[in-house]
Amino acid sequence: MALAFSSSLSFSSSTPLPPFPSLPFRTSPADSSLITIRAPHRIRPISLCTRRSLRPKATVVVDSPTAGGAAPRRGPPRVLLEVKDLRAVIAESGQEILRGVNLTIYEGEVHAIMGKNGSGKSTLAKVLVGHPDYEVTGGSVIFKGENLLEMEPVERSHAGLFMSFQTPVEIPGFYSYVSPKAAAINMDLRFLDRNVNEGFSGGEKKRNEILQLAGIWVLELGQGYGLWIYAMHFLYTDFTKLHIAVNSSKRNSIAKMVLEADLAILDEIDSGLDVDALQDVAKAVNGLLTPNNSVLMITHYQRLLDFIKPSYVHIMEDGTIVRTGDVSLAKQLEKEGYRAFSNS
Ligand SMILES: Nc1ncnc2c1ncn2[C@@H]1O[C@H](COP(=O)(O)OP(=O)(O)OP(=O)(O)O)[C@@H](O)[C@H]1O
């Protein structure tokens, strides 16, 4: 298993950060051999966060010297992702899976990719995040003006690309690792009640994956103590469950940061979810959408699109996008099946 992780932050702490990646991560066999833990690419005190869902219902006490209003970016929407004639093979066998994918995503857009089993949807997602099982053999991918294909997976993550896996990883041992440190800084322990994903139901794992969009919460405590909290599991059911109380008067430099993705790739977030859970997940995704970020979601079912409205729906077949349209495509698909869209 390759574990891609790096910190671009420089901490003022004189004590080295704990070696977070040494946690006993494991992937489920059905999923990838790569875990990318998203480390911060930009840092913003929570008081600067403009996203509705992240305005703390939770108790968050922050002592930040840089509090103020963040001005939203102005100007016409930028192209976030431009995929041109992308071709990729399975690295081991050389079998071609992606056979010339073209896709352009502007910021503020929600794109849905649908397609038969085995048409290459997940492969496209994994190739975009740099999964080592695949080798790109042709085409180009520009993300935020930069050549995505030249970046390491972790750099893609830092650049603002997020992917939720169909089968998220389990992180046993998380509680015992974090809880003493959380106690040491007077942090409410109620949100540390479960190991990440371990024993979670399928639906809970999915919610958890989505809530990773809220990012990694980074606490830096002054006076020589730094702590990373990989907070995805704190959030797995409801943002109100995030309850971090830090007595800032006792600490002289506490910064609470939230990281967010510019482009979130959500691979079948709806599978295995009951109706209520689906709505919760959709609500979380919608809450994280802003005019400056985008979502690319892979789904088999139109019902997800009732809750997360797509700007475009693409139909994929045999490693390429064969049709693009609005949500009516998904409706037609539901009615007529893939025969209506087949190239062959
Ligand atoms: N690492 C791999 N090793 C072997 N075959 C692979 C690998 N990755 C993808 N494939 C094959 O490539 C094809 C496309 O797979 P992919 O998972 O991208 O399809 P999909 O459209 O996401 O399907 P589904 O809707 O069932 O999730 C399938 O035939 C799959 O078996």
Q: What is the dihedral sign for C-alpha 331, 108, 214, 121?
A: positive
* Res 246: pLDDT: 27
Interval 39-61 mean pLDDT: 31
Tell me, what's the pLDDT at 302?
87
84 and 153 housed in the same domain = yes
- pLDDT at residue number 49: 29
Q: What one-letter code names the amino acid at 263? A: L
Task: Report the pLDDT value the prediction gives residue 209, as an integer from 0 to 100.
Answer: 52
> Residue 316 falls within a domain, yes or no?
yes
Of 212, 91, 86, 119, which Cα lies nearest the Cα of 161? 212
Q: What is the mean pLDDT of residues 259-287?
A: 76
Of residues 299 and 200, more confidently modeled? 299
Lowest mean pLDDT among 96-105, 112-121, 229-238, 263-272: 229-238
Is 118 inside any structural domain?
yes
Region 42-69 average pLDDT: 31
- Residue type present at position 270: D
What is the rounded distance in angstroms from the CA atom of residue 258 to the CA atom of residue 218?
A: 7
Higher pLDDT, 341 or 18: 341
Q: Which residue has the tokens 């919460």?
A: 217
Output the CA 143–ligand 1 centroid distance in Å: 24
Are residues 116 and 102 part of one domain?
A: yes
In this structure, the residues whose C-beta lies within 6 A of any atom of ligand 1 are 90, 97, 115, 117-123, 133
Residue 275, pLDDT above cutoff 70: yes
Residue 132 is given by DSSP the state T
Whether 92 and 234 share a structural domain: no
pLDDT score at 155: 83
Q: Is residue 110 part of a domain?
A: yes
Looking at the structure, do residues 48 and 179 belong to the same domain, yes or no? yes
What is the pLDDT, as a whole number, of residue 80? Answer: 94
157-178 mean pLDDT: 61
Does residue 303 surpass a pLDDT of 50?
yes
Residue 328 lies in a domain: yes
Q: Going by C-beta distance under 8 Å and a sequence separation of 6 or more, which residues neighbour residue 65?
A: none
Judgement on whether residues 85 and 163 belong to the same structural domain of the protein = yes
The more confident residue out of 142 and 162 is 142
More confident residue, 248 or 81: 81
Query: Is pLDDT above 80 for 158?
Result: no
Q: What is the C-alpha to C-alpha distance for residues 293 and 109, in angstroms, rounded to an integer?
A: 7
Query: Whose alpha carbon is nearest atom 16 of ligand 1?
Result: 120
Residues 158 and 187 in one domain: no
CA 225 to ligand 1 center in whole angstroms = 45
> Measured between alpha carbons, how far is 169 from 71 in angstroms, rounded to an integer?
36
Share of the chain above pLDDT 70, in %: 50
Domain co-membership, 252 together with 304 = no
Domain with 109 in it: what CATH number?
3.40.50.300
Q: Is the pLDDT of residue 140 over 50?
A: yes
310 and 232 both lie in a single domain = no
Assess whether pLDDT exceeds 80 at residue 135: yes
Q: For residue 205, what pLDDT is reported?
A: 57
187 and 46 both lie in a single domain: yes
Q: Domain count of the chain?
A: 2
Please tell me whether residues 330 and 218 are part of one structural domain.
no
The β-bridge partners of 7 are: none
In angstroms, what CA-CA distances link 232 with 182, 235, 294, 308?
Answer: 15, 6, 20, 21
How many angstroms does the Cα of residue 124 sit away from the middle of ligand 1? 10
In this model, does residue 127 exceed pLDDT 90? yes
Domain that holds residue 307: 79-167+261-276+288-337
Same domain, 84 and 144: yes
Mean predicted confidence (pLDDT) in 227-237:
34
pLDDT of residue 336: 87
Query: For residue 206, what pLDDT is reported?
Result: 54
Give the mutation target among 92, 97, 128, 167 for probing the ligand 1 site: most ligand atoms within 8 A of CB: 97
Any domain includes 320: yes
| Residues 292, 232: Cα–Cα separation, whole Å | 22
Q: Where are the beta strands (DSSP E) in 8-78?
A: 34-36
Identify which has the larger pLDDT, 280 or 333. Answer: 333
The answer to the question of residue 344 being in a domain is: no
SS3 content of the chain, % helix, strand, coil (to 5): 30, 30, 45
pTM score above 0.90? no
In a domain, 281, yes or no: no
Contact (CB, 8 A) for 150 and 31: no
Mean pLDDT within 57-82? 53
Q: Do 52 and 180 fall within a single domain?
A: yes
Point out the least confidently predicted range of 26-30, 124-128, 203-207. Answer: 26-30
Structural domain contains residue 342: no
